[in-house]
Amino acid sequence: MNAGETIPVTVLGGSLGAGKTTLLNHLLTHAGDRDIAVLVNDMGSVNVDAELVADESDLAVGDGVTELSNGCICCELQDDLETAVVRLARERSFDHLVVEASGVSEPGPVARLFVTSRAAARYDVAGLATVVDSRLFADTFGDGDPERTVAEEGDGSVRPLSDLLVEQVESADLVVLNKRDLVSDAELAAVRDAVEALRPGATVVETDHGDVDVDLLLSDLHDPDATVGWRAALEGEAGGDDGNEDDHEHVEHADADRDDHDHDHGETPHAEATYGVTSFVYRRRAPMDPDGAAAVLGNLPESVVRAKGSLWVAGAEDVHFTYSQAGPSAYVAAAGPWVASRPEFEQDTYRRNHPELDWHDDHGDRRTELVFIGRGMDEDALAAALDAHLLDPGADANAGDYPTDPGAEVALAEPTRERESVPTTGATPEGGR
């Protein structure tokens, strides 16, 4: 690496047991003449050490850094990540950095460190790669019985595993469908199509034991402007959306504009043709009954893999709520006030600075706008279930269970901790696949 050149970084993510360490072992074994540094940003339960990098290390150099015989460096982070990567670049010479994110984190926030901190002067993000346990993904979002439903954070708290799996896929430039030998061809195709719907444009490869082509893994894949499936659908871009709208006859509401009372279809052609993976957008210019919205959105059919968007809730009509669902987990959060609820001069200023803002003469930016991604969804039935809980603007309602402080959230649905959040005895360990 010449002086003054930035070092490419690949951030590797994936849930515990997905096979990240096995993939790293494969990478280091087949690094060739590349000088690679590997940093492990984990909770300490799973480490890349001499035993898990093909017994190639033969010189300990202190501070948790091991020099490998093929010129690679392996470092278990024991201090701040930013400090560690800057120090590593200053004290070592290497061609590429691979950072393994914790099994309970998303690669995106780790990658942003290399863009927004002092590390940006020395590094350039080449790609975000997510390793997916194909069996676990198929069981979590299909009809199977996943071995675990929650992921344990470093502080002992838990989060729904479905949430984590979706967010790790949505942040990826490269998705590695590992353990393909543990699923049928039909299950693997369904997993692949769901992944492609969640993250359109990502490179997807299938492996048994993390044997990804090293050139592909280390190539420049990162697109900082790439959009995730739900956002692409809201923007009318997902899967060649032609912009056509289907108006449906529903119960009329005095102030619900018919032009905004529709749902749009954004389809992923290959996915739909093979396994029925589609997306559609539900848009309404009327508030929803708080209890009714919670009942429907907290109990979506299993055919819905991912849903996200904005909610206009009666009884709290000044608050812009956001909704997020991934498999069996669903949350509503307060995002702050609607622009329409701000003083008029603030509204005018905001609208001048954001001419793309969808604005209604009567309701401003207040709306319910949700995108649903799934397999074999009954879109009409889901839209009808939501429509049954639409109210007139200003209707009397009690939204007491909904948070109002920006950033606060409430769970509408979450998996119970019926199973352990780590693989059970006899399950494949992180380094075993």
Phi, psi (degrees; rounded to nearest 5) at 219 = -75, 165
- For the cut 70, the answer to whether the pLDDT of residue 64 exceeds it is no
Give 151-163 pLDDT, tens digit per residue.
Answer: 555 445 556 677 7
**pLDDT band, residue 237 (cuts 50/70/90):** very low
Q: Say if CB 311 and CB 321 are below 8 A apart.
A: yes
What is the predicted pLDDT for the residue at 160? 67
CATH topology of domain 7-226+422-432: Rossmann fold (3.40.50)
Task: pLDDT band for 321, please (50, 70, 90 cuts).
Answer: very high
* Residue 415, pLDDT above cutoff 70: no
What's the rounded Cα separation, in Å, for the pair 6 and 24? 22
CATH of 231-402, one of 3.30.1220.10, 2.60.120.620, 3.40.50.11540, 3.50.50.60: 3.30.1220.10
Instruction: Burial-class residue 81 by CB neighbours within 10 Å (0-12, 13-18, 19+).
Output: middle
Model pLDDT, residue 77: 56
**Residue with token string 């659908």:** 233
pLDDT for residue 183 is more than 60: yes
Map residue 274 onto helix, strand or coil. Answer: helix
Please, which residues have CB within 8 angstroms of residue 358's CB and are 6 or more apart in sequence?
365, 367
Query: Which stretch of 98-112, 247-261, 324-338 has the lowest confidence by average pLDDT?
Result: 247-261
pLDDT at 149 over 70: no
Average pLDDT, the chain: 76
**pLDDT value of position 293:** 95
Q: Where are the domains of the chain?
A: 7-226+422-432, 231-402
Region for 182 from its dihedrals, namely left if φ exceeds 0, alpha if ψ lies in -120 to 50, beta otherwise: alpha
Residue showing tokens 């926030």: 109
Dihedral over Cα of 284, 288, 292, 293: its sign: positive
Burial of 327 (0-12, 13-18, 19+ CB in 10 A): buried
* Fold agreement between 7-226+422-432 and 231-402: no
pLDDT above 60 for 79: no
Share of the chain above pLDDT 90, in %: 30
Encoded amino acid at 141, one letter: F
pLDDT at 418 over 50: no
Mean per-residue pLDDT, 45-68: 47
Measured CA to CA, the distance from residue 33 to residue 36 in angstroms comes to 9
What are the tokens at 175? 């998705």
- Does the model's pTM come out above 0.85? no
168 pLDDT above the threshold of 60 = yes
Confidence category of residue 314, pLDDT binned at 50, 70, 90: very high
Residue 429, pLDDT > 50, answer: no
Residue 214 token pair: 């090293």
Strand partners, 59: 67
Q: Residue 267 pLDDT > 60, yes or no? A: no
Please state the rounded mean pLDDT for residues 372-381. 86
Residue with the bigger pLDDT between 334 and 77: it is 334
Backbone phi and psi for residue 194, each to the nearest 5 degrees, phi listed first:
-65, -40
- Predicted confidence (pLDDT) at residue 377 exceeds the cutoff of 90: no
Buried b (16+ CB within 10 A) or exposed e, 207-217: bebbbbebeeb
Residue type, 277: V
Residue type, 180: R
Helix crossing, 81-91 with 107-116: angle to 10°? Answer: 60
Q: What is the pLDDT of residue 163?
A: 77
Measure CA 300 to chain center. Answer: 19
pLDDT at 403: 93
Instruction: Quote the pLDDT of residue 312.
Output: 96
Give per-residue pLDDT as tens, 380-414: 999 999 999 999 999 999 998 899 999 899 999 87
In the structure encoding, which two tokens stand for residue 153, read together? 């954070």
